[in-house]
């Protein structure tokens, strides 16, 4: 088992090192601290979020029953799976209808997201969310790349501004009192669209590597667990010759 343990530990260390690399690159790439050589001479432009994104106030008039909630760690999740029940209840008709590719800001405090979480709906074609959420879409696709915006929010680049516009004295059960106009008034520093796409692609590739290594680590641990179970129950027996060899090693 010693060799297997070493391989499992190596996979764990690779995941840890890739995550550390991403944490360092996130802030540097998303703030212009580190640039790709081909974009060095291209300036970044400051815009209000409301200049490149627009609020979506599409009510659930069609009667969709696919109620969603935002988890900081997971993203959009089905309320029935996440809470083991439908908490929207009879108010589900008085909700926002969000479609694939659109964003929503959950003003609730949650672990790892002290100023709420903004996520893009990628998991399904549409669903309904509470009207306490701020739902929005990109209004200027020629100025803002959707994947770049995903990374911008996930990295917490706008957290300092969210902190300023959060009325912490008016919390109600962990809900931040962020005014919609203040949310869209936040300033975002944007490079050219090609540079945004280059940054998003680099971070996306790194995310893919991290996920692949994490899956490998989990599979190796599960494989070892299964092998140990079979050895301990006698379903698999170690040849006596190997036991003797190990004893004299």
CA–CA gap between residue 77 and residue 232 (Å, rounded): 39
Helix (H, G, I), strand (E, B) or coil at 113: strand
How large is the C-alpha radius of gyration of the chain?
Answer: 24
Helix (H, G, I), strand (E, B) or coil at 89: helix
Selected residue with higher pLDDT from 227 and 18 = 18
pLDDT value at residue 235: 59
Selected residue with higher pLDDT from 127 and 172 = 127
Instruction: Give yes or no for residue 238 having a pLDDT over 50.
Output: no
Intervals of CATH 3.90.220.20 along the chain: 45-190
Instruction: Give yes or no for residue 171 having a pLDDT over 80.
Output: no
Instruction: Identify the CATH homologous superfamily for domain 45-190.
Output: DNA methylase specificity domains (3.90.220.20)
* Encoded tokens for 151: 């990374």
How does residue 234 score in pLDDT terms, banded at 50, 70 and 90?
low
CA–CA gap between residue 71 and residue 141 (Å, rounded): 26
CB atoms within 10 A of CB 186: 17
% of the chain exceeding 90 in pLDDT = 50
How does residue 240 score in pLDDT terms, banded at 50, 70 and 90?
low
Instruction: Give yes or no for residue 182 having a pLDDT over 90.
Output: yes
Pick the CATH number of 1-42+192-249 from 1.10.10, 3.40.50, 1.10.287, 2.40.50: 1.10.287
pTM > 0.75: yes
Selected residue with higher pLDDT from 236 and 27 = 27
Instruction: Give yes or no for residue 3 having a pLDDT over 70.
Output: no
Q: Please report which helix (H) or strand (E) contains residue 99, including its range.
A: strand 96-99
Exposed e or buried b per residue across 54-68, where buried means at least 16 C-beta atoms within 10 angstroms of its C-beta:
eebebebeeebebbb
CA–CA gap between residue 69 and residue 87 (Å, rounded): 10
User: Which whole-number Å values give the CA distances from 104 to 25, 118, 212, 214, in the listed order?
Assistant: 25, 6, 28, 28
Q: Which whole number is the average pLDDT over 49-74?
A: 89
pLDDT value at residue 218: 73
pLDDT value at residue 228: 61
Instruction: Give yes or no for residue 97 having a pLDDT over 80.
Output: yes
Nearest Cα neighbor of 128 from 73, 176, 91 is 91
How does residue 226 score in pLDDT terms, banded at 50, 70 and 90?
low
Find tokens 């106030």 and name the residue: 57
- Residues 150-170 have pLDDT tens digits of 999 999 999 999 999 987 544
% of the chain exceeding 70 in pLDDT = 78
* Encoded tokens for 3: 């060799």
Q: Which whole number is the average pLDDT over 206-222?
A: 75
Task: Give the mean pLDDT of the chain.
Answer: 82
How does residue 68 score in pLDDT terms, banded at 50, 70 and 90?
very high
Helix (H, G, I), strand (E, B) or coil at 125: coil
CA–CA gap between residue 95 and residue 47 (Å, rounded): 30
% helix, strand, coil for the chain, step of 5: 45, 20, 30
Selected residue with higher pLDDT from 211 and 30 = 30
How does residue 25 score in pLDDT terms, banded at 50, 70 and 90?
confident
Intervals of CATH 1.10.287 along the chain: 1-42+192-249
Instruction: Give yes or no for residue 244 having a pLDDT over 80.
Output: no
């Amino acid at each position: 088992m010693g060799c297997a343990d070493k391989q499992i530990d190596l996979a764990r260390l690779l995941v840890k090192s890739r995550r550390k690399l991403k944490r360092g690159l996130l802030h540097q790439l998303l703030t212009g601290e580190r640039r790709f050589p081909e974009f060095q001479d291209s300036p970044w432009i400051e815009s209000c979020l409301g200049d490149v994104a627009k609020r979506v106030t599409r009510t659930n008039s069609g009667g969709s029953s696919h109620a969603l909630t935002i988890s900081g760690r997971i993203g959009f999740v089905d309320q029935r799976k996440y809470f083991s029940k439908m908490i929207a209840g009879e108010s589900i008709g008085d909700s926002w209808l969000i479609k694939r590719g659109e964003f929503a800001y959950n003003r609730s405090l949650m672990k790892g997201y002290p100023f709420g979480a903004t996520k893009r709906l990628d998991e399904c074609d549409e669903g309904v969310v509470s009207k306490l959420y701020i739902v929005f879409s990109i209004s200027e696709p020629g100025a803002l790349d959707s994947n770049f915006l995903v990374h911008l929010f996930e990295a917490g680049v706008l957290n300092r501004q969210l902190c300023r516009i959060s009325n912490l004295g008016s919390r109600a059960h962990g809900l931040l009192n962020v005014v919609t106009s203040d949310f869209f008034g936040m300033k975002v520093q944007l490079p050219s669209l090609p540079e945004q796409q280059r940054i998003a692609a680099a971070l996306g590739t790194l995310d893919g590597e991290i996920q692949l290594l994490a899956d490998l680590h989990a599979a190796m641990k599960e494989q070892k667990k299964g092998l140990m179970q079979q050895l301990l129950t006698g379903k698999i027996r170690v040849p006596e010759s190997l036991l003797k060899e190990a004893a004299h090693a």
